[in-house]
Amino acid sequence: MRIVIINGPNLNLLGKREPGIYGSSTFEAFFEKLQKKYAEMELHYFQSNIEGELIDKIQEFGFSADGIILNAAAYTHTSVGIGDAIKAVETPVIEVHISNVYQRETFRHQSYISPNATGIIVGFGLQGYELALQSFSK
Ligand code: DQA
Over residues 35-47, the pLDDT tens digits come to 999 999 999 999 9
Over residues 56-112, the pLDDT tens digits come to 999 999 999 999 999 999 999 999 999 999 999 999 999 999 999 999 999 999 999
Distance 115 CA to ligand 1 centre (A): 17
Distance 47 CA to ligand 1 centre (A): 13
Which of 49, 70, 106, 108 most suits a substitution to test ligand 1, by most atoms within 8 Å of the C-beta? 108
CA distance 57 to 8: 11
pLDDT for 138 = 64
CA distance 128 to 137: 15
Residues in the ligand 1 pocket, defined by CB under 6 Å: 10, 71, 73-74, 76, 97-99, 101, 108
pTM listed for this prediction: 0.97
Q: What are the structural domains, with CATH classification, of the chain?
A: 2-136 (3.40.50.9100)
**Residues in a beta bridge with 115:** none
Q: How far is CA 108 from CA 73, 85, 111, 124, in A?
A: 10, 20, 7, 16
Q: How far is CA 67 from CA 5, 26, 62, 90, 104, in A?
A: 9, 23, 8, 9, 28
- Residue 130, pLDDT > 80, answer yes
pLDDT for 137 = 83
Residue nearest to atom 7 of ligand 1 (CA): 73
Output phi, psi for 78, to 5 deg.
Answer: -135, -20
